[in-house]
Structure 1
Amino acid sequence: MEQWDEYVRPSDLEVLSTAKSIKDNNILHICGFNNKRNNLKSYREYLFKAVNWATHVENVSLPQGRKIFGGRAVLGGFSNTAKDTLFQADREELILETQRLISETGTEGYLVGADCSIPFETTDQRLRWINRTAYAYNK
């Protein structure tokens, strides 16, 4: 943690400060690449409007993360590998999972999405099913 505080945090904060000076609406992505876990609490003081992390890697749900980050907007919920729901599930399963995520997280301050980038082979149609479900959920 000492190395984090000395080397990583200062550069992160500088980048985020510069980004905020250009545009106030920024998303912080906390990468859980290759199943590497992060201490999400160490990002609480960072400047951002919305936050995205690997909910499945970190084992921290969107509502739990929202509490960690002081009620700020959260983005994600779908695990992003080729073996996960986003890529493998049929239409009905994607719709049900989208509804579950929104029901669990709420419609205020939640952006439905993946925990990280998605496989290139993911079809636009799959994403449209999720988008339409999210749109209809709030009507």
Structure 2
Amino acid sequence: MNKREVMFNLLEEGQSPPYIPAAFFLHFDPAFHRGEAAVQKHLEFFRATGMDFVKIQYEHTFPQLPFIQRPADWAKMPFYDLDFYAEPLAVVKGLVQAAKPEAVVVLTLYSPFMCAGHTLGSDRALSRHIEEDPEAVKKGLSIITKSLLEFVRACAALGLDGFYTSTQGGEAGRFSNPALFDEVIRPFDRLLMDEVNRLTPFNILHICDYHLPYERVDGFLDYPGQVVSLGMELTTRTLTPAEAYALFRRPILGGLNRHGVIAHGTPEQIRAEVESVCAAAPPRFILGADCTVPSETPWENLRTAIETAHTFRRG
């Protein structure tokens, strides 16, 4: 069973993969964001760490637009056609051709809310716009979503296996009225993610706590995705991977804090923590971090964690 088969086996309830798979992600130096250099760096990282699938980092964010100053300005949001995505599509094509025979290949996909934050230059400023005039901001989010839909369809046509679909906006304290997430952000998340899951078979829902933590995550139970990635540190409690699995009934990716021993620990510390996590892990589990690990994290640390997961034997 090769790595590709292991990952698809994991999606089948009742199946037992031959080992606990693992994967970590980091951003490479800008010299490796585009073209053949990006393809080769992703392959180097995949093989050096021994991880179980290829996750392409998306490094082509929406440009900041200074003319969007007020909520009403979102009506002027430009539509980016496929010419805008030429560089990431070339990286997708190269990695699908190089790695798909042996491994699942997925691509980071930022949500419409996150792309709007890049456009404005601040997710907090975007939150203020939504508070002030949600209907006006929806016009921009609609344009962004249509653009992203064209991009994911092009990726699927190239043979990509799926996406690491990130959502933000539902964190604790993001809005004075939390219902704004359901009114403004959720509908565009679902439009994009539903299409992604229609087109591709291996998608990872990432409930991203990069900026803010969550009070609870059960509001995402209806979000699609064959695997769920999330941070375990909520404002009210700390989840375990087993509790997250019981909640979502899907394979869970995570278990380690991206700023913890995986980033700066000794081999012994890393092995001890990974063994502790794996011992309590649910039956369908992928060892990983709660989000992208710091770029300076030694690759040897990641390889140590992955090898420990691969050789761990459940009692």
Q: Identity across aligned pairs (percent)?
A: 23
Query: 1:1-139 alignment to 2 at 5 Å?
Result: 1-57=178-234, 59-69=238-248, 71-81=249-259, 84-106=260-282, 108-138=283-313
Paired residues of 1:32 and 1:38 also in contact (CA < 8 A): no
**Structure 2 segments unaligned to the other structure (5+ residues):** 1-177
SS state of the match for residue 229, structure 2? Answer: strand
Cα–Cα, structure 1 residues 112 and 73, in superposed 2: closer, same or farther, change >3 Å?
same
One-letter amino acid of the counterpart of residue 229, structure 2: N
For residues 114 and 2 of structure 1, the distance between their equivalents in structure 2, rounded to whole angstroms, comes to 29
**Structure 1 segments unaligned to the other structure (5+ residues):** none
For residues 285 and 183 of structure 2, the distance between their equivalents in structure 1, rounded to whole angstroms, comes to 32
> What's the TM-score, normalizing by structure 1?
0.89
For residues 76 and 13 of structure 1, the distance between their equivalents in structure 2, rounded to whole angstroms, comes to 23
Give the CA deviation at 1:36. Answer: 2.5
For residues 234 and 222 of structure 2, the distance between their equivalents in structure 1, rounded to whole angstroms, comes to 22
Cα deviation per residue 1:35-81 (whole Å; 9 max; x = unaligned)? Answer: 42253000001111111111135521111111121x21000111112
For residues 218 and 197 of structure 2, the distance between their equivalents in structure 1, rounded to whole angstroms, comes to 21
Give the aligned CA root-mean-square deviation in angstroms.
1.7
Aligned position for 2:153: none
Cα deviation per residue 1:83-134 (whole Å; 9 max; x = unaligned)? Answer: x21112110110111111111114x310000000000011111111011111
One-letter amino acid of the counterpart of residue 20, structure 1: N
Aligned position for 2:84: none
> What's the TM-score, normalizing by structure 2?
0.41
Give the CA deviation at 1:138. Answer: 4.0
For residues 88 and 72 of structure 1, the distance between their equivalents in structure 2, rounded to whole angstroms, comes to 30
User: 4+ residue runs of structure 1 moved beyond 6 angstroms?
Assistant: none
Q: How many positions carry a matched residue from both structures? A: 135
